Structure 1
């Protein structure tokens, strides 16, 4: 059920209650009448928002996060759109109509058989980063929704775990408290608002004090949303790296 229909059904329920108390209880009549009107207003606002999402395009970018993998092309609906992306390279955002789309990974310059295919539903007005990564020793595409809004004069950040050989991790301030708990491979943490500053992080084996890696001098600026991708540490790369992208 859409949010619009939910608000309309709630409004109908309050309308029935206000009618029931019309002659027996003026206070409840007024109370349920106000509830009825508020939900009608919410339904109208939600309908406007849903109609706007249909007309707005989605923004999509690609990140090549599969260490030791060759350069790749990404085809969208059979057309090569993102070309010759090497490891740690990312494209800019491109706009696509809302709705279903077919994404295929190819070795750069080839177009015979895709290495991996993904059908995605793009929501109008939404922003996505689609990351190539290894899963079970094969390339895959992992979509993540980006939320670029930041409170004024603040920063915002999250971590995404794309290191296939690494167990779930905790992200902690160096020698301090855990900020994000049990971020597993292919998962994103929640966003966290932060004052502009430079922070040193420890990447720990989840639930322990054992440090897997140290991430020094992570800088967060005001009015910027940052996503820090944990990459590397597969069969051929023994070094954990961090790649930061902002909308």
Structure 2
């Protein structure tokens, strides 16, 4: 279920005459800060999520295209926001807003879903690096095919078109044979868009270890 917030945008009644729902924009928030506590999220001072925990997504918010103030607070508080940022959305634009970095260096990363030419019976996959202490990485299949190369923190790739099926993927330090994470048996279905997010902290004895979160992106169904 998508939420519509006319109150998110300050406008006169006759400014926006939307012909259909396709003129709306959509955004959601992903909590990817490994040491930040649960958070509340406000868009133009409207609460869109409460108690969002690490590795959780909000639902997509449908809203009029334009500029929005996004504030992220520690859950239950409304003073001293962890993040106070602005985003700009376009008609039919779809965005994931990632709460990225450690709490002491936290920020909001806007990740748009780029327009792609759909290929029947295929799928589209991309990668986003949100692990603060992990260096640049390559993503390969277990057969050695490089899917994404040299991706750094807070960077994301374009979508890659693949055949549907089960994949065993591996994360390597970029340009080396040093594997730091295995992602076995990922089932990816046709006619869908996915993003693989690397989150957490690399190294032993971490409360939030390096791992991935795989999301179905809004372009699959919005």
Please classify the TM superposition score into its range, dividing by the shorter chain length: 0.7 to 0.9
Higher relative contact order (CA 8 A, sep 6+): 2
Which residue pairs with 1:187 in the alignment? 155
Instruction: Give me the TM-score of the superposition, normalised by structure 1.
Output: 0.74
Cα distance in 1 for partners of 2:133, 2:50 equals 27
Q: 1:103 pairs with 70, 80, 85, which one?
A: 70
Matches within 5 A, 1:71-90: 71-90=38-57
Q: 1:209 pairs with 153, 177, 183, which one?
A: 177
Flag the structure with larger Rg.
1
Counting matched residue pairs gives 196
How far residue 175 of structure 1 moved from its aligned partner, in angstroms, is: 4.1
> Which structure 2 segments of 5+ residues have no match?
1-17
Q: 2:85 pairs with 118, 121, 126, which one?
A: 118
Which residue pairs with 2:201 in the alignment? 233
Instruction: Provide closer, same or farther for how the CA distance between residues 182 and 136 of structure 1 changes in structure 2, counting only shifts above 3 A.
Output: farther
Instruction: Give the root-mean-square deviation of aligned CA atoms.
Output: 2.2
Larger fraction in helix: 1
Matches within 5 A, 1:44-59: 56-59=23-26
Cα distance in 2 for partners of 1:144, 1:167 equals 20
| 4+ residue segments displaced more than 3 Å | 147-150, 234-238
Deviation sequence 1:117-165 (CA, Å, 0-9, x none): 1111111110000011115832211110124764221111111000000
Deviation sequence 1:191-243 (CA, Å, 0-9, x none): 11111111111101111111111111111101111111000116844621111
> Which structure 1 segments of 5+ residues have no match?
1-50
